[in-house]
Amino acid sequence: MKKIVYVIIILIFGYFTLYAEELKSIKYVYYLTTNFPEKIIENLRKTAETSDGFVKYFDLKTIIIKIPSNKLNEITDEIKKNAFIQDTIISSKNLSEDLLSTKTKLKIKKDFLKKLYKIFETSNIVQTIDVEKEVNDYITQMEYLEGRIRFLENQISFNELTIYINYEHQVIQPKVHASQWDWINQLGLKQLLSH
């Protein structure tokens, strides 16, 4: 009987995965150029706060903001007003399957916990200890799953923006080793090759 129930759950899960709306975690990375980096950092911090978001990290050249998906335009408008956007990178991760799977696991555990409570009511003292241990394990697992659901929903409802200000790419100079012959080293070929 349990196998049939699991097969039905998997089929239902597969159906909803195919036809459910995609729930994504979206991350934006902006590279900005501005003459007033302190001003733009301060303006972005204020805009994040007034847009029901928050600042995850900031220093003089970088700020990371978590912002509700529906308030993204407020931050991008602030960026466009005060800086030139050199580059933008957008990445997304579909969390629909993970969220649906976690919710399904939680529902199964809740249903099983109800059955454990019924067993608990009719068990003798020796069985009570075993059932109590099983109940505690299920409650711990359910708390973990509830926390995971909250985390995934937060990832979906908040976009993350990482903004680099006046970012400079560092050019790594190739290493040139000295030659084993002194006459080549005296010609200064090492310095020529490094340019």
Tokens of 69: 């998906």
Q: Which residue has the higher pLDDT, 34 or 176?
A: 34
Residue 3 confidence (pLDDT): 56
Whether residue 192 is predicted with pLDDT greater than 90 in this model: the reply is no
Residue bearing the bigger pLDDT, 54 or 122: 54
Q: What's the whole-model pTM score? A: 0.62
pLDDT for residue 191: 55
β-pair partners for 67: 159
Query: What is the distance between the alpha carbons of residues 125 and 37, in angstroms, rounded to a whole number?
Result: 69
Question: Which residue type occupies 106?
Answer: L
Going from N- to C-terminal start, the domains of the chain cover: 26-93+158-165, 96-156
Instruction: Determine which of 21-25, 74-78, 143-147, 190-194 has the lowest per-residue pLDDT on average.
Output: 190-194
Cβ contact 91:180 at 8 Å? no
In this structure, what token pair is assigned to residue 21?
Answer: 């709306």
Residue 83: both structure tokens together: 């800086």
In terms of Cα–Cα distance, which of 104, 137, 139, 135 is closest to 118?
135
**Would you state the pLDDT for residue 171?**
42
User: What are 135-173's pLDDT values in tens digits?
Assistant: 888 889 999 999 999 999 988 889 999 999 987 654 444
Q: Amino acid letter at 85?
A: I
- Answer whether residue 79 shows pLDDT above 90: no
**Distance of alpha carbon 88 from alpha carbon 69, whole angstroms:** 17
Q: Which two tokens stand for residue 183?
A: 């006459």
φ, ψ at 165 (rounded to 5°) = -110, 130
More confident residue, 24 or 127: 24
Say which residue, 183 or 50, is predicted with more confidence.
50
**Average pLDDT taken over every residue of the chain:** 79
Q: Which of 54-68, 124-138, 156-170 has the highest mean pLDDT?
A: 54-68
Task: Report residue 83's pLDDT band, with 50, 70 and 90 as the boundaries.
Answer: confident
